[in-house]
Every structure is written in C-alpha cells, then in structure tokens.
C-alpha cells in the first residue's frame, strides 16, 4: 500500500525511539466490520509505522473470542464493543477480565433492519406513513405486534450480536420507545453479523440490529428494510472502542501513547470524504471486511438503500471516525451503558458499580497522548424518546422509563 | 474417592475433529459425552443434558450466541463460567492456542476439569497436525505433477531423455537457488505462453 499523509497530520510529533519498551509490534484483534476502519487505516496507510509501531491485525469470528484472546494475552489490544470493557469491570459475562478503553474508534454505523414482510405489515396494518421516521417505525411495529398477539401469531424473533453490545441496548431502546417490551413482546436472539442477512432471508429471524455493512447487504439482497439507524436513536452514542488490559497499559505507557497518536491521525484521515475510495478499497480486502467495495463506499458516504424498491436515504454523519471529539472515551457514556444494563436486568445499581463502570473509560490516557482538557460528567441528550441522561441520577433515569426489564434483586459481584 | 461421571457436551462443526475428541474423552474414561455439529437447537440440548462441561471450537462464530444463552441461564441459577481457575493461565493459553474454548459449571473442582481440557487440547492439536500433514502431502503431490509436466515439455521441445530433462531442471534450480517445483512451474508457464 502507498503511504498517504494528509495535510492535517503534518504537525504531528516526529517518531522517536521507543528504546525503553523495545521495538513495538502490537497485536490487535478485530471483527470484520466497517468500524474497524481506524485500525485498518492505521495499518495500511502508514500512520502506525510513522509512530514506530507495527500493527499486527488479527481477524476473529466472535466477540467472545476477542474478549478471551485479549484476557489471555494473545492480543495486546482489540477492537471491542463499547459495553464490553464496562461489562468486564462490573464482572459480568462468562470470562470477565479487567479491560480499559483509552480510545474510542468512532460513532455510528449501526442500524436496525426488519424483514420486508414485517415492514409491509407495518405499512398495511400499522399505519406507517413515514418509513424514514425511526420513532414512527417503532410505533407501527408495536401496533403490528399487538395484532399478532390478538390473533395468536408467533411473535417476531429479532437478533442482536452479543449480550453486552450497543446493538442490544440500541435495539431495546428503539423497541421500548415504540412501547414494545423487548423481553416479552419479541424474542431476542444472538446471530453473528455476517450471518444476519442469510438468517433474515431464511425466515429464521424477522429483524436485526448490527453494524455496517450488514444492514446494507440485506437491503441490497431485497430481504430487509432499514427502519432506524444509530443516529436516529442517540446521535452521540459510542460504538467501538480500543480495549486493552490495564496491566499492559501500565507496563507499556509509551506504546499506548504512540498507538493513540497513530490511531488519531488515522481516524482524522478516515473522516475525509476524499479518502473514502481508498478506505473502501482497503476494507474490501479479504483480510479485512471482505465485502463488495461499492457497498462499502456507499456505507461510508451514508447513502442508504433502505428497502428492496431502492428507496434512498442519505444519513449525514452516519459514520463519524474523528469529528466532534468522537475518539475521547467518556465516562458518562460508560455510565449510560451501565444504566441500560440495569434497565434490562443485567445488573443492579450500586455506587460501587457506577464507579467500576466509569473506570472502563480512560480519558486520562487519551489526554496523556493527545492533550486537551478534562471533560467531566455531562448530561446527555438527543435520544429518540426525548429523555435526557444525567449520570449523577442513574436510578431516577432508569425508573423514568415506562418500559423496562425485570429488576435484579441480588447485587452483582463487582 | 469416587465421583459422579461428568456430562460433557462437545460442539464442533468439524465432524472429524469432534470424533477425535470424543474418542479421546472416552479413552480417558468419560462415558457421558455428547457431540453436536451445529448450534441450532443447542438451548434445548443444554437444558435436557445439563452438561457439566461444554467444549466448543473457537472458530465457531456462534460462540456469541452461547454467551447470550449463558446470560439467560444465569437467571435460572445455573451459572456457567468459563475456565475454572483463572490462576492457571498457562493451561488456558494453551487451550486458546489450540483453538479450544470451554464452559464449565460453576463450583466444579479444578482437578476434575483439568484432565478434560487437557484431552481436548491434545486432540485439537493432533487434529491440526493431521490437517497440516494432509496439506503438505497434497502440495508434495502437486509439485510432483508439475515436475512431470515440465519434464515432458523439455523432452518434447529439446529432444531430451527423461533423465536429461530432470537433470536440467535440477541443475537450473541449483544455479538459481530456487526450488525444483518453482523452476518446473516457470517452464510450464513459459511453455503455455509461447506455444499458444
């Protein structure tokens, strides 16, 4: 690959020697999704090399593998779902091992796709007039589900990718915003992202929430319609992060900083539309996402084919890799994730739990590498249902939702 | 001290590998071994079988589905945790390296699970070796075929005997410090280009 340097990267500090920590090869696990772009760009377009780092990207097949391989030192760092480090710090899941996120890999990319059959019913029976309005779609689905119940039809089966995923929380958030109880009105299952459009085509599932490019792949095949995107649900929602073991970060502080500098230059580059053709080309490679290059190009541009009739929708900032401090890990986002874990019965609130959840985000390591001011806990707004999240009042926030899961009574180990 | 025989579930899409593992576990004295090749319907199987140990290959993308399942079973007060003793990280790393992942019922003694994991790891490694050997044998066969074709071309085009043709190939390979098969491949390629 050619080395491509953008003008904005000119002011970066020159790479020096990393004598104290030796020559650095960093093994990074990733899942083939468009939001691995920052890692791929850092590897393919010279940003890591410029910081004296050789990024060894290792493709994996499941988030459980990524988590375990990071925990057991087969990976130094990993492309992770933002709730994964939070879950690990709360001791949730099968193999919780302390994981921190000093860098976010961007925002956006997720969407909810429903089968064309279900979508047709939402229009015919659910009175859906505005298929581009995500909240209207959720309400129409609620009306269809109500009719399904009246007639004793089987309830829809909907897929997410992992129990501790933005997809799980975003799908649930969207359903609940429409008045649907994700635990009793539908059946939520897990399907690996590359299998989602096949599962939809085969009728094994009626919808899914996954990252790019799999939604677009399903609409292009004519098996699904996109009814909501991550931006519709919460525009500033964090998506993937760079995860690492706290101990690795402590023993390799210089490498961590250089890696963050390299990723930040790559993220800025990924945001420039003029670089998208080259980025799409790189991502299409069988070693990375292995999806058709024209779909990747349109995904990066936010040009969506939302249904088999070819209806187009352009979503501004569908992917944000860098702009608007997208890469700074925010403890208030970790606490929002914690609030959703509580809302859906994966955890119970405690002040110790809130501390543990927030500790998954390490803006201090981000600032050590890149500078910038400290950002305290902020009130988050812009949610599809009009709620605002105050990280200081998690319990009140959870209580304020009309639709929520069972409460966990026994406190979780932290 | 006698123990109740442990119930083991092996989930592996690879039929040959899973039978190798099953055989290993039976040899080690485990009689309650169930093998399934696809995860479809696994929830019901786990419910009826109530396995103490689940062995799954890590190349299976459906591991995330299993995680979801265990999140659900958690609430049924049958917590399943991965790896009994995190302190024994060398053993766990060996398992990851071999491509084995295991889920174990909480509270099960490490001494009882370790031998099962060891059998799974050694059988996974044995299978990988087998696959490597097979691939090597295949490529050796391919190489021999290519050398035969190159010999034939040289015999026809330069009127050499079979021995002479082979000697020429070998000498050229030595002179150019390349493998015999590489030289043979370039003869075949060049002939294809020139004779059309």
- Where do the structural domains in chain B lie, given as residue ranges? 8-132, 139-194
The minimum CA-CA distance between B86 and chain A, rounded to whole Å, is 9
For position B62, what pLDDT does the model report? 82
Distance of residue A124 Cα from the nearest chain B Cα, in angstroms: 33
CATH class of A7-107+239-288+323-399: alpha beta
Is B96 part of the contact surface with chain A (CB cutoff 8 Å)? yes
Model pLDDT, residue B88:
66
Q: In sequence order, what are the residues at sequence separation of 6 or more whose Cβ sits closer than 8 angstroms to the Cβ of residue B134?
A: none
First to last CA, chain B: 78
CA A404 to CA A221: how far, in whole Å?
Answer: 34
The pLDDT of residue A13 is: 46
Q: Which residue has the higher pLDDT, B165 or B192?
A: B165
Q: Residue B11: which of B55, B45, B48 has the closest Cα?
A: B55
Interchain proximity B61–A195, CB inside 8 Å: yes
CA–CA gap between residue A45 and residue A345 (Å, rounded): 43
Whole-angstrom CA distances from A233 to A225, A299, A386, B99, B158 are 17, 18, 10, 38, 74
Mention every residue, 6+ apart, whose C-beta is less than 8 A from residue B58. Answer: A61, A62, A65, A68, B96, B99, B100, B101
Long-range contacts of the stretch A281-290 (C-beta < 8 A, 24+): A282/A1, A282/A40, A282/A41, A282/A44, A282/A45, A283/A34, A283/A36, A283/A37, A283/A40, A287/A57, A287/A59, A288/A32, A288/A36, A288/A40, A288/A57, A288/A59, A289/A32, A289/A33, A289/A34, A289/A36, A289/A213, A290/A32
Domains A7-107+239-288+323-399 and A111-233 share a fold: yes
> In terms of Cα–Cα distance, which of A383, A392, A393 is closest to A173?
A383
Instruction: Write down the domain spans for chain A.
Output: 7-107+239-288+323-399, 111-233
Instruction: Report chain B residues whose CB lies below 8 A from the CB of A191.
Output: 65
- For residue B11, the cross-strand partners are B36, B56
CATH number for the domain whose boundaries are B8-132 = 3.40.190
Query: Chain A contact for B82, CB < 8 A?
Result: yes
Using the beta-carbon criterion (under 8 Å), do B64 and A190 form an inter-chain contact? yes
Nearest to A101 by CA among A270, A254, A248, A288: A248
Instruction: Note the pLDDT of residue B83.
Output: 53
**Cβ neighbours of residue A45 closer than 8 Å, sequence gap 6 or more:** A1, A2, A3, A4, A266, A269, A278, A282
Note whether ipTM > 0.85 here: no
- pLDDT digit string, tens, across residues B138-153: 888 889 999 999 999 9
Predicted pLDDT of residue B34: 93
- Given the DSSP bridges, would you call strands B53-57 and B8-11 parallel, antiparallel or unpaired? parallel
pLDDT at position A14 is 45
Are A72 and B96 a contacting pair at CB < 8 A? yes
Whether A317 contacts A271, CB under 8 Å: no
For residue B83, the chain A residue with the least C-alpha distance is: A95
Chain B neighbors of A94, CB-CB under 8 A? 67, 70, 80-82, 103
Question: What is the token pair recorded at A194?
Answer: 């590359």
* Model pLDDT, residue A27: 97
C-alpha angle A396/A399/A405, rounded to 5°? Answer: 140
How high is the pLDDT of residue A124? 94
Rounded Cα gap, residues A63 and A211, in angstroms:
13
Chain B, nearest residue to A61 by Cα:
B61
Which of the four pLDDT bands, split at 50, 70 and 90, describes residue B77? very low
* Helices within A90-130 (DSSP H only): 116-124
pLDDT of residue B52: 84
Mean pLDDT of B62-71: 81
How high is the mean pLDDT of chain B?
A: 82
Q: What is the pLDDT of residue A1?
A: 38
B139-194 is a CATH 1.10.10.10 domain: yes
pLDDT digits (tens, 9 = 90+) for B157-191: 899 999 999 999 999 999 999 999 999 999 999 88
**For domain A111-233, is the CATH number 3.40.190.10?**
yes
Q: Within 13 Å of residue A352, how many CA atoms lie on the same side as its CB?
A: 7
Chain A residues with CB-CB distance to B61 below 8 A: 61-62, 192, 194-195
User: How close does chain A come to B106, measured CA to CA in Å?
Assistant: 11
Helix, strand or coil, per DSSP, at residue B30: coil
**Which of B60, B66, B89 is opposite residue A72, by nearest beta carbon?**
B89
With a CB-CB cutoff of 8 Å, which residues 36-75 of chain B face chain A? 58-68, 70-71, 75
Residue with more model confidence, B88 or B38:
B38
| Gap from A162 CA to chain B (nearest CA, Å) | 6
Q: Listing from the earlier edge strand, what are the strands of the sheet with B33-36?
A: B33-36, B8-11, B53-57, B100-105, B80-82
In angstroms, the separation between the Cα of residue A221 and the nearest Cα of chain B is 22
pLDDT at A230: 92
Q: Cβ contacts (< 8 Å) between B101 and chain A: which residues? A: 64-65, 68
> CB B68 to CB A195 under 8 A?
no
- Using the beta-carbon criterion (under 8 Å), do B67 and A63 form an inter-chain contact? yes
What integer pLDDT is reported at residue A413 of this predicted model? 37
Cis peptide bond N-terminal to A413, omega within 30: no
pLDDT the model gives residue A3: 39
Q: Same CATH fold, B139-194 and B8-132?
A: no
CB proximity A348 to B under 8 Å:
no
List Cα–Cα distances, B93 to A69, A74, B101, B121, in angstroms.
8, 8, 10, 10
At residue A313, what are phi and psi to the nearest 5 degrees? -140, 130
Residues of B whose CB is below 8 A from A189: 65, 68
pLDDT at B80 over 70: no
Bridge partners of residue B105, in order along the sequence: B80
Residue B196 binned pLDDT confidence (cut-offs 50, 70, 90): low
Consecutive sets of 10 residues in chain A, 414 residues long: mean pLDDT of each?
A: 40 47 85 95 97 95 91 94 97 88 93 96 92 94 96 96 94 97 93 90 94 89 93 91 97 96 98 96 95 92 81 86 93 96 94 97 96 84 94 96 72 36
Kindly list the residues from chain B whose CB atom is less than 8 angstroms away from the CB atom of residue A93.
Answer: 67, 71
Q: How far is CA A55 from CA A40, A44, A73, in A?
A: 9, 9, 15
């Amino acid at each position: 690959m050619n080395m491509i340097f953008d003008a904005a990267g000119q002011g970066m500090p020159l790479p020096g020697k990393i004598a104290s920590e030796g020559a650095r090869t960093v093994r990074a696990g990733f899942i083939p999704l468009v939001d691995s772009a920052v890692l791929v760009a850092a590897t393919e377009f010279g940003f890591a090399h410029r910081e004296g780092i050789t990024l060894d990207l290792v493709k994996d097949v499941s988030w459980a593998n990524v988590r375990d391989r990071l925990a057991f030192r087969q990976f130094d760092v990993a492309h992770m779902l933002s709730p994964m480090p939070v879950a690990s710090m709360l001791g949730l899941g099968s193999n919780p091992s302390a994981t921190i996120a000093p860098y976010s890999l961007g925002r956006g990319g997720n969407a909810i796709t429903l089968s064309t059959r279900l979508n047709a019913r939402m229009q015919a029976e659910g009175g859906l007039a505005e298929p581009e309005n995500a909240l209207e779609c959720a309400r129409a689905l609620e009306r269809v589900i109500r009719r399904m119940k009246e007639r004793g039809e089987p309830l829809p089966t909907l897929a997410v990718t992992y129990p501790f995923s933005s997809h799980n929380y975003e799908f649930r958030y969207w359903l609940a915003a429409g008045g649907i109880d994700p635990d009793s009105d539908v059946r939520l299952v897990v399907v690996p992202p590359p299998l989602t459009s096949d599962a939809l085509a085969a009728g094994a599932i009626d919808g899914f929430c996954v990252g790019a490019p799999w939604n677009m792949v399903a609409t292009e095949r004519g098996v699904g319609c996109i009814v909501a995107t991550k931006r519709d649900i919460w525009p500033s929602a964090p998506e993937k992060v760079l995860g690492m073991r706290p101990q690795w970060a402590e023993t390799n502080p210089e490498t961590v900083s250089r890696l963050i500098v390299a990723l930040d230059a790559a993220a800025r580059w990924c945001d420039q539309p003029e670089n998208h053709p080259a980025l799409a080309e790189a991502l299409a490679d069988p070693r990375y996402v292995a999806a058709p290059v024209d779909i990747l190009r349109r995904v990066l541009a936010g040009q969506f084919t939302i249904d088999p009739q070819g209806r187009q929708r352009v979503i501004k900032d569908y992917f944000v890799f860098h702009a608007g401090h997208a890469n700074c890990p925010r403890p208030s986002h970790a606490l929002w994730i914690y609030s959703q874990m509580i809302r859906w019965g994966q955890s119970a609130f405690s002040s110790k739990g809130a501390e543990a959840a927030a500790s998954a985000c390490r803006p201090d390591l981000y600032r050590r590498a890149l500078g910038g001011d400290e950002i305290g806990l902020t009130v988050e707004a812009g949610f599809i249902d009009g709620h605002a999240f105050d990280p200081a009042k998690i319990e009140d926030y959870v209580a304020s939702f009309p639709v929520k899961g069972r409460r966990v009574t026994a406190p979780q180990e932290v | 001290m006698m123990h109740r025989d442990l119930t083991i579930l092996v989930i592996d899409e690879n039929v040959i590998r899973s039978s190798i593992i099953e055989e290993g576990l039976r040899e080690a004295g485990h009689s309650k071994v169930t093998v399934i090749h696809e995860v479809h319907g696994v929830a019901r199987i786990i419910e009826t079988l109530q396995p103490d140990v689940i062995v799954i290959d890590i190349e299976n993308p459906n591991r995330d589905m299993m995680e979801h399942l265990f999140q659900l079973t958690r609430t049924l007060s049958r917590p399943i945790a991965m790896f009994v003793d995190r302190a024994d990280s060398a053993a766990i790393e060996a398992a990851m390296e071999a491509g084995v992942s295991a889920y174990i019922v909480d509270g099960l003694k490490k001494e009882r699970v370790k031998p099962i994991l060891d059998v799974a790891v050694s059988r996974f490694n044995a299978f990988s070796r087998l696959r490597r050997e097979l691939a090597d044998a295949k490529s050796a066969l391919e190489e021999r075929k290519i050398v035969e074709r190159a010999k034939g071309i040289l015999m026809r085009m330069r009127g050499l005997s079979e021995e002479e043709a082979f000697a020429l190939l070998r000498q050229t390979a030595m002179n150019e410090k390349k493998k015999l098969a590489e030289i043979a491949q370039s003869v075949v390629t060049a002939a294809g280009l020139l004779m059309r």
